[in-house]
Amino acid sequence: MKTFFNHLHAQHQGKVEMFRGALVPCFEVPARADHVLAELQRRPLGAVLEPQAFGEAALTAIHSPRYLRFLASAWDQWVALDAANADKDILPSVWPTRTFRTDIEPDNFAAKMGLYSYDAGTPFTSGTWVAARAGADCALSAAQAVLAGDRAAFALSRPPGHHAGADFFGGYCFLNNAALAAQHLLDQGEGAGIKKVAVLDVDYHHGNGTQAIFYDRPDVYFASIHGDPRTEYPFYLGHADETGSGAGWGANLNLPLPRGTDYATWAQALETALAGIEKFGADALVVSLGMDTFEGDPISGFKLKSGDYLRIGERLAKAGLPTVFIFEGGYAVEEVGINAVNVLQGFTNP
């Protein structure tokens, strides 16, 4: 299995985030991806490659041009306000909520940050755009490898992506790598017989951005197994009654589970998700591979153990679909490499 690694990911390194009413050191750190890379070097499953560079059209297939322009220019705008800002990360402080307009981009920088974000836990740094842009290339390169005939490929990058919507960031995410990969499979997949794609999100936190992007689409099936949004981030999306709208009705499946869920219960939800994907008739699969379902994760609440991830990989392999794996969350830093590579190993050597 080819791995496309973002060598620029460490350029995004937030200092602090808002967590439970306090500014704390960021949970989403460069060591996350580095531990996965080290484990892949210890247990090689295939080549680790630089991603191909893709043009802006691949990004605008998912994200709005206005949003992309903001991401690309945000740091320069921030420093232009005050040269001392070069030593500070950007955190939003005001947001448009119900009844506020979002169609007009404000001139005020703080208002722009609020327009394009939804939480105060996602710092924007001097290297955020560079890292996120290279991460998108990793996701697109992994999709391209599958289109070229590989059974599976892995995009190893950070920041993660599944909380990012078409025109907003949050949850540590800026560009939605899973959505970009899924769209690329559809746009370029005619010769490979790919007309329908499924996105399976196994991160502890609901992939609200991915759901929102594809919610009215009949060609992408989104299935997510996650912590119950009544108590778990991102709170406002991910309920079981969200099944799609318009042409996409029936192509969205949410499987929220309570804190404390163990592997036996989680695996039953996986079977339900894969049954839905099979019924949908997907020709390819994108997996948002979040490892924060692990029992030792500091900001999550499931009880999966390291050995369980081998079984997850084995079960995904049995689905028999060309598969793109996208690295998402997982904040038990010392174990994240073992757990992620266990999935890939289980898939590669079932």
Domains of the chain: 2-56+127-348 (3.40.800.20)
If DSSP codes are grouped into helix, strand and coil, which group holds residue 46?
Answer: coil
If DSSP codes are grouped into helix, strand and coil, which group holds residue 331?
Answer: coil
Whether 237 and 208 have beta carbons less than 8 Å apart is answered as yes
Which helix (H) or strand (E) element contains residue 81?
helix 65-81
Whether 118 and 97 have beta carbons less than 8 Å apart is answered as no
Whether 21 and 120 have beta carbons less than 8 Å apart is answered as no
Q: What is the rounded CA–CA span in Å between residue 189 and residue 325?
A: 17
What pLDDT is attached to residue 191? 87
What pLDDT is attached to residue 208? 98
- pLDDT at 304 > cutoff 80: yes
**Considering 163, 205, 206, 226, which one is annotated as catalytic?**
163
Q: What is the rounded CA–CA span in Å between residue 287 and residue 290?
A: 9
- pLDDT at 141 > cutoff 80: yes
Contact partners, residue 68, CB within 8 Å, separation at least 6:
56, 59, 60
What pLDDT is attached to residue 324? 98
Cα-Cα-Cα-Cα dihedral sign, residues 303, 229, 124, 181: positive
Global confidence as pTM: 0.97
Instruction: Please return the burial class of 236, using the count of CB atoms within 10 Å of its CB with bins 0-12, 13-18 and 19+.
Output: exposed
- pLDDT at 202 > cutoff 90: yes
SS3 per-residue string spanning 256-307: EECCCCCHHHHHHHHHHHHHHHHHHCCCEEEEEECCCCECCCCCCCCCECHH
What pLDDT is attached to residue 139? 98
- pLDDT at 350 > cutoff 80: no
- Per 3-state DSSP, the chain is made up of helix, strand and coil in percentages (nearest 5) of 40, 15, 45
* Counts of helices then strands in the chain (DSSP H, E): 10, 10
Which residue(s) pair with 34 in the sheet?
A: none
Establish whether 63 is a catalytic residue: no
Q: What is the pLDDT of residues 256-291, one digit of tens each?
A: 999 999 999 999 999 999 999 999 999 999 999 999
Other CB atoms within 10 Å distance of the CB of residue 135: 31
- pLDDT at 20 > cutoff 90: no
- pLDDT at 349 > cutoff 90: no
Lowest mean pLDDT among 18-22, 71-75, 135-139, 337-341: 18-22
- pLDDT at 98 > cutoff 90: yes
Whether 64 and 167 have beta carbons less than 8 Å apart is answered as yes
What is the mean predicted confidence (pLDDT) over 331-336?
97
- Say how far residue 46 (Cα) sits from the centre of its chain: 22
What is the mean predicted confidence (pLDDT) over 8-37?
94
Amino acid at 252: N
Peptide bond into 65 cis (omega under 30): no
Whether 305 and 263 have beta carbons less than 8 Å apart is answered as yes
Place of tokens 């484990």: 39
What pLDDT is attached to residue 18? 87
Instruction: Give Cα separations from 239 to 161, 172, 290, 304 (angstroms).
Output: 20, 21, 19, 22
Whether 94 and 112 have beta carbons less than 8 Å apart is answered as no
DSSP one-letter string for 144-172? HHHHTT-SEEEEE-SS--TT--SS-BBTT
What is the mean predicted confidence (pLDDT) over 56-64?
98
Mean pLDDT of the chain: 97
